[in-house]
Structure 1
Amino acid sequence: MEISQQPLLLASLLLLFVWLLLQASPRKQRTNGQGRHIPSPPALPVLGHLHLLKKPLHRSLAALATRYDTEGAGLLHLRFGAKRVLLVTSPSVAEECFTVHDVALADRPGLASRRVLTQDCPAIAMCSYGPLWRQLRRLATVHALCAHRLAATSGARDAESRAMAAKLLRRAAARPVAVKAAAYEFAANVIMAMVAGTRMTGDQVRRFREMTEAGLAAAGAANRHDSLPVLRMLDFGRTRRRLAGIAEARRQFGQSILDDYRQRRHRHPGGADDDAGERETARTVLGDLLRQQQEEQSPEHLDDVVVRSVCLSLLQGGTDTTASTIEWAMALLLTNPSAAKKATAEIDSVVGTSRLLQESDLAGLPYLRCIVSETLRLYPLAPNHVPHEASRDCVVASGHAVARGTMVLVDVFSMQRDPAVWGERPEEFVPERFMDGGSGVGGRRDGGSSRWMMPFGMGRRKCPGEGLALKMVGVTLGVMMQCFEWEPDGGKEVDMSEGSGLTMPMATPLMAVCRPRANMESLLKAL
């Protein structure tokens, strides 16, 4: 570098530093004279509160709220670099946010990582609130997630549960099973059957899982490259290049699903998706969308970007979260053998041992449903939910101002473990707490009592796949318990610590040994 250029570089760096200080300096929220003080920890210039955050993020945020929200406001004001953040820690405030202020808080933060990851293929969960989001959500709901379509595709889930049981039998007693991997393959193939009428190969499942997990890891609320512009400008660690690579892999995977489907339809014209008279169970999401794409009188144009986005949203939204929930449930059952025995006895009583459990049996298995509810209480799908953003100024919780552009996080992890709500043993796995007739799942009060859960979110941005997720978790867990006896690998104690990420994986993946139950061996061998 020439000596004459050095002063210019130093001046540029100084101006950048001053700009960052101005961006990160504390700002008064626009309150129109109505705002009340929101508790906040001491902040540093530029960094804000990033220096206080440890992994896993949900534990760190909960500890900050406990320490600094001494007045019990149920709110904590933070800054991730220059980004204002509001942490909601009270069920009543959360309920107000996503009912009274649902529209004002329905947007997603315009984070740099999100823009790179979804620039050519927006995901429903991450899409900005507006016409495109409404179109994607409506298409996913109508063609895959409504009650009618779920009932029509139950056969695909039963078929995949049989395939999973047969595969576990081949592995039984030979080597430990990676529980999440087995559950992930089940969930991916269930949704692929709904989307395209096919199954993934083992290599496809592995590549899809790696791509999805990399995207989830990069989409965290406290990603420092999102919070500190200087890191983005200098691209430390080649983060932008890595995100662009994930985005391109995502686009290629989605387009390959469309191309493969079109090729199959070209080779076999007149298939189920081309004939409205065929059985409803043979219909697929892709068949519906591509048929609508070709209709000249269609009220909306569906280009390949929209079709890809719907398909990938279903696949990515329903695999990792479902597999993680199954893994947590199995870990809880391994550490609570009395609950496992009770669940198995219920299945034997209702289903028997002459046939495999089916999705239609779930309605008659209340204790199994309680296990799923208790798992979602202790280990919700996303401990702070997907971040929201205020699209306009609003006032919550009797006068606390939330400025436009503020990121909103909900500490659902702590709320669902609050001893004031859940009694003396809120950290313990007690499925019986849901045996009073209320599931407590879905952002509503349990049976009219004060117990409250929202593992799938609340309001218009609530996860539309709740019904599908509960069915997949219930069937998978039920078949695993009906067919096999489980124990931790090597008799070791199960590590129940939580990992980091937008979702909440186990810090140490669960490895377990499964052996076919004596009264199920003949049935399993016949699969």
Structure 2
Amino acid sequence: MDQELNSSYHHLFLAVILLLPLLAVKLRRRDHGKNLPPGPWQLPVIGILHHLVGALPHRAMCDLARRHGPLMLLRVGELPVVVASSPGAAREVMRAHDAAFATRPRTAIIRELTRDGLGVAFAPHGEHWRQLRRLCVTELLSARRVRSLRRGREAEAANLVASVAAAAAASKPVNVSALLATYVTDAAVRAVVGGRISHRDAFLERLEEGVKVAAGFSLADVFPSSRLARALSGAARRAQTHHRAMTRLMDGVIAEHQERRAAGAGNDEEDLLDVLLRIQKDGGLQIPLDMGTIRAVIIDLFSAGSETTATTLQWAMAELMRHPAALGKAQTEVRRVLAGQDRVPEDALPEMRYLQLVIKETLRLHAAVPLLLPRECQEETRGVLGYDVPRGAMVLVNAWAIGRDAASWGADAEEFRPERFEDGGARAEADFRGADFEFVPFGAGRRICPGIALGLAVMELGLAGILFHFDWELPGGAAPEELDMTEGLGITARRKSDLWLQATVRVPVPKV
């Protein structure tokens, strides 16, 4: 995946260069009389694409922002892209002018992926989105609903611990990345459909493909006025193929769930699909809740929850391995809280304060979606840090750059130090739930991620389990500073390489 995605900018750049004589695009300038944000120098037709080749976008845009300011205008082909890279700029986008920037761009790839129905993540701002957002907040992802799904999370956390123990029994390194990804995905599946599903591996492969597709590039988006670009847009065709395959799998998942419920199988608790089907039957929304919309909402829950949560957990373990003192402190706390117990009950998590700080610091340094999901300017908007943002511009918030801003976080902003959030510390009050624009890994405003509570519960339970039961070392006696911390390219900032560690059982693992 990483190799494929890392070449995306190169491939797009090469394709544009080869097509220049045929595209004959005339970039129309409508900037007269506008005070547009500054930006780097650009080339004819391709704009600033050459600044992005060979670099991770959030890092390249962070470097550009240091030279051109916290609010930049980048032209990618015909597409204007405004990037906010400071807390002040983020506040302008997600609070002061939130309504103007509350919609999502309908790119060629997104149109294909949502052909039969729109969920919450990519829905344009409007009544459809408002109704689904309300459904998520009050029914699907409310604190009460998250608590009701606790038993499923605890069961999957026990499976994770058992899997690590089985791998450790062979005295060989454990692929922590793979096991954490499986745990998070299985926890999401159990929350949504109440149990495991048939064709699980095919379903997980399709979710993985969806991440690749959504991270791709389309010539039709960069050059919307060119018929040739639309005709040659292989990314859009790939999205269409993925959508058809995902629809077939989702129909199978829903049918399997309904058959299981009809047969009286499973527990008595409502899972998230039960909620959607109940509301569909009762007509509890002001918009049609057809099967296409239900599929789209479920895919949002699977894809967003699984990918971002697994990414954060992998970075948390990697940072702990790079910082043995923090690892020891976290393990000491977990084992003190759970003294005399043989597993991690979710109701013990609030006592694990330092564990929560580890996750908080990981979210600061490694925002799972470093550029957040793109927004679109619905109308010409004036007075954004003193600049004008043109209608139709894509708007990106660089959460990765904001989380590492030395002006906000001090000279040690690049260092992993959970203690910065301790009571009495300089940043003890910093919050990631949308109130503090120096810390926006989940976004803010109307488009803030509605699944924060569920994601945190899965993260805390999984991390507590593997710290409680196992001692961890780098394979081959490697020094902490030798651990590769390179990021991969994609919608989420995954580790480029899997995290392999040596695990030793410290607290006996009960049978599952």
Q: Secondary structure at the match of 2:347?
A: helix
Q: Deviations over 1:5-51 (max 9, x none)?
A: xxxxxxxx999633x2x2x344306xxx5x43421112122211112
User: What is the CA-CA distance between 1:52 and the residue it aligns to?
Assistant: 1.4
What is the aligned partner in structure 2 of residue 386 from structure 1?
Answer: 373
What is the aligned partner in structure 2 of residue 500 from structure 1?
Answer: 489
Q: Name the CA shift for 1:53/1:363 in 2 (closer, same or farther; >3 Å).
A: same
1:195 aligns with one of 174, 192, 197: 192
2:464 aligns with one of 447, 468, 478: 478
How far apart, in 1, do the equivalents of 2:87 and 2:484 lie? 29
Q: How does 1:152-231 map onto structure 2 within 5 Å?
A: 152-174=148-170, 175-200=172-197, 204=200, 206-220=201-215, 224=219, 226-229=221-224
Instruction: Tell me which amino acid in the other structure corresponds to 1:178.
Output: N
Instruction: Tell me which amino acid in the other structure corresponds to 2:442.
Output: F
Q: Name the CA shift for 1:14/1:465 in 2 (closer, same or farther; >3 Å).
A: closer
How far apart, in 2, do the equivalents of 1:250 and 1:389 lie? 27
Q: Name the CA shift for 1:438/1:353 in 2 (closer, same or farther; >3 Å).
A: farther
How far apart, in 1, do the equivalents of 2:502 and 2:383 lie? 50
1:112 aligned to 2:96?
no
Q: Secondary structure at the match of 2:95?
A: coil
Q: Name the CA shift for 1:45/1:63 in 2 (closer, same or farther; >3 Å).
A: same
Q: Secondary structure at the match of 1:98?
A: helix
Q: Name the CA shift for 1:298/1:424 in 2 (closer, same or farther; >3 Å).
A: closer
User: What is the CA-CA distance between 1:474 and the residue it aligns to?
Assistant: 0.9
User: What is the CA-CA distance between 1:200 and the residue it aligns to?
Assistant: 4.2
Q: Deviations over 1:396-430 (max 9, x none)?
A: 33431011100001111111111121112111110
> Does the Cα contact within 8 Å between 1:181 and 1:323 map onto a contact in 2?
no
1:82 aligned to 2:85?
no
How far apart, in 1, do the equivalents of 2:362 and 2:20 lie? 51
Q: Name the CA shift for 1:232/1:500 in 2 (closer, same or farther; >3 Å).
A: same
How far apart, in 2, do the equivalents of 1:426 and 1:293 lie? 48
1:308 aligned to 2:283?
no
Q: How does 1:291-302 map onto structure 2 within 5 Å?
A: 291-295=278-282, 300-302=287-289
1:17 aligned to 2:23?
yes
1:137 aligned to 2:133?
yes
> Does the Cα contact within 8 Å between 1:140 and 1:314 map onto a contact in 2?
no
Instruction: Tell me which amino acid in the other structure corresponds to 2:62.
Output: A
Which range is displaced more, 251-260 or 457-466? Answer: 251-260
Q: Percent identity of the aligned residues?
A: 34
What is the aligned partner in structure 2 of residue 489 from structure 1?
Answer: 475
User: What is the CA-CA distance between 1:328 and the residue it aligns to?
Assistant: 0.4
Q: Name the CA shift for 1:301/1:26 in 2 (closer, same or farther; >3 Å).
A: closer
What is the aligned partner in structure 2 of residue 441 from structure 1?
Answer: 432
> Does the Cα contact within 8 Å between 1:50 and 1:222 map onto a contact in 2?
no
Q: Name the CA shift for 1:403/1:14 in 2 (closer, same or farther; >3 Å).
A: closer
User: What is the CA-CA distance between 1:320 and the residue it aligns to?
Assistant: 0.8
> Does the Cα contact within 8 Å between 2:364 and 2:403 map onto a contact in 1?
yes
How far apart, in 1, do the equivalents of 2:462 and 2:511 lie? 19
Q: How does 1:240-389 map onto structure 2 within 5 Å?
A: 240-268=236-264, 282-295=269-282, 300-389=287-376
User: What is the CA-CA distance between 1:366 and the residue it aligns to?
Assistant: 1.0
Q: Name the CA shift for 1:156/1:37 in 2 (closer, same or farther; >3 Å).
A: same
What is the aligned partner in structure 1 of residue 7 from structure 2?
Answer: none
> Does the Cα contact within 8 Å between 2:86 and 2:438 map onto a contact in 1?
no
1:63 aligned to 2:74?
no
How far apart, in 1, do the equivalents of 2:398 and 2:43 lie? 23
For the pair shown, which has the larger CA radius of gyration, 1 or 2? 1
Q: Name the CA shift for 1:353/1:485 in 2 (closer, same or farther; >3 Å).
A: farther
Q: Name the CA shift for 1:15/1:235 in 2 (closer, same or farther; >3 Å).
A: closer
User: What is the CA-CA distance between 1:223 and the residue it aligns to?
Assistant: 5.1
Instruction: Tell me which amino acid in the other structure corresponds to 1:498.
Output: E
User: What is the CA-CA distance between 1:137 and the residue it aligns to?
Assistant: 2.4
> Does the Cα contact within 8 Å between 1:47 and 1:228 map onto a contact in 2?
no
Q: Secondary structure at the match of 1:99?
A: helix
User: What is the CA-CA distance between 1:484 and the residue it aligns to?
Assistant: 0.8
User: What is the CA-CA distance between 1:151 and the residue it aligns to?
Assistant: 1.4
> Does the Cα contact within 8 Å between 2:218 and 2:236 map onto a contact in 1?
no
Q: Secondary structure at the match of 2:502?
A: strand
How far apart, in 1, do the equivalents of 2:80 and 2:404 lie? 26
Q: Deviations over 1:347-400 (max 9, x none)?
A: 111121423122211211111011000000000021110011001111233431
Q: Name the CA shift for 1:482/1:396 in 2 (closer, same or farther; >3 Å).
A: farther
How far apart, in 2, do the equivalents of 1:228 and 1:211 lie? 29
Instruction: Tell me which amino acid in the other structure corresponds to 1:140.
Output: C
Q: Name the CA shift for 1:287/1:405 in 2 (closer, same or farther; >3 Å).
A: same
User: What is the CA-CA distance between 1:142 and the residue it aligns to?
Assistant: 3.0
Q: Secondary structure at the match of 1:168?
A: helix
What is the aligned partner in structure 2 of residue 5 from structure 1?
Answer: none
User: What is the CA-CA distance between 1:64 and the residue it aligns to?
Assistant: 1.6
How far apart, in 2, do the equivalents of 1:240 and 1:397 lie? 33
Q: Deviations over 1:177-207 (max 9, x none)?
A: 2222212222222222221111246x61x43
What is the aligned partner in structure 1 of residue 413 from structure 2?
Answer: 426
Instruction: Tell me which amino acid in the other structure corresponds to 2:464.
Output: G
Q: Name the CA shift for 1:143/1:195 in 2 (closer, same or farther; >3 Å).
A: farther
User: What is the CA-CA distance between 1:525 and the residue it aligns to?
Assistant: 4.1
Q: Secondary structure at the match of 1:486?
A: strand
Report the count of equivalent residues.
483
> Does the Cα contact within 8 Å between 1:489 and 1:513 map onto a contact in 2?
yes
List alignment gaps of at least 5 residues for structure 2.
1-18
Q: Secondary structure at the match of 2:96?
A: coil
Q: Secondary structure at the match of 2:98?
A: coil
How far apart, in 2, do the equivalents of 1:228 and 1:178 lie? 42
How far apart, in 2, do the equivalents of 1:296 and 1:334 lie? 51
Instruction: Tell me which amino acid in the other structure corresponds to 2:434.
Output: G
List alignment gaps of at least 5 residues for structure 1.
1-12, 273-277, 446-450
Q: Name the CA shift for 1:232/1:243 in 2 (closer, same or farther; >3 Å).
A: farther
2:31 aligns with one of 28, 31, 48: 28
What is the aligned partner in structure 1 of residue 15 from structure 2?
Answer: none
How far apart, in 2, do the equivalents of 1:481 and 1:15 lie? 58
2:96 aligns with one of 80, 88, 100: 100
Instruction: Tell me which amino acid in the other structure corresponds to 2:46.
Output: L
